[in-house]
Amino acid sequence: MNSAIDRDADFRARLQQHWEASERGDVDAEHAIYAADAILDYPQSGERFRGRSRIQAQRGGHPAERHFTILRLLGGGDLWVSECVITYDGVPTHSVSVMEINDGLVTHETQYFADPFDAPPGRAALAEPIPPRGR
């Protein structure tokens, strides 16, 4: 049991380092978390990137100024989820990243993106604002 807890703590730290490397634009450190044959899926665009080098190449060529705010890291064992806000050229996009892990490396990531939208006025009496999160 203790080794599973240690593995989870180690991967959580590596996942945090992955997002910190993403924020500072360190593409080598950002992609060190991926297995050489990892797969990255973007369901909204229907794209699949196969292999760490292709994943890194497509992210490294992104033309926008990007910033990452991590809201939550959840997981254990072979499944981890990151909830974050990625800001592209000053415009925030909410993102959920689902990572499958094998031998301490990401083997499959599915990343979902959602743009913010205005709430319908008819729900105003039922809702309350979400408190600010992040750093």
CA distances from 38 to 3, 35, 104, 111 (A): 25, 5, 12, 13
* pLDDT one-digit tens code per residue, 35-59: 999 999 999 999 999 999 999 998 8
- Rounded Cα–Cα distance for residues 12 and 101 (Å): 12
Burial readout 31-56 (b: 16 or more C-beta within 10 A, e: otherwise): bebbbeebbbbeeeeeeebeebeebb
Give the global pTM: 0.87
Which among 28, 25, 54, 24 has a CA at the least distance from the CA of 39? 54
Q: Which long-range contacts (CB under 8 A, 24 or more apart) does 2-10 make?
A: 4/76, 4/77, 7/77, 7/104, 8/75, 8/76, 8/77, 10/104
| Cα 104 from chain centre | 16
- In this predicted model, what pLDDT tens digit does every residue of 107-131 receive, in sequence order? 999 999 998 888 889 998 999 988 8
> With bands split at pLDDT 50, 70 and 90, how would you rate the model's confidence at 135?
very low
CA atoms within 13 A on the CB side of 25: 7
Q: Which of 26-40, 66-80, 115-129 has the lowest mean pLDDT?
A: 115-129
Q: Give the model confidence (pLDDT) of 82-104 as tens digits.
A: 999 999 999 999 999 999 999 99
Q: How many C-beta atoms surround the C-beta of residue 119 within 10 A? A: 11
Strands 66-76 and 79-88: antiparallel
What local confidence, expressed as pLDDT, does residue 2 receive?
74
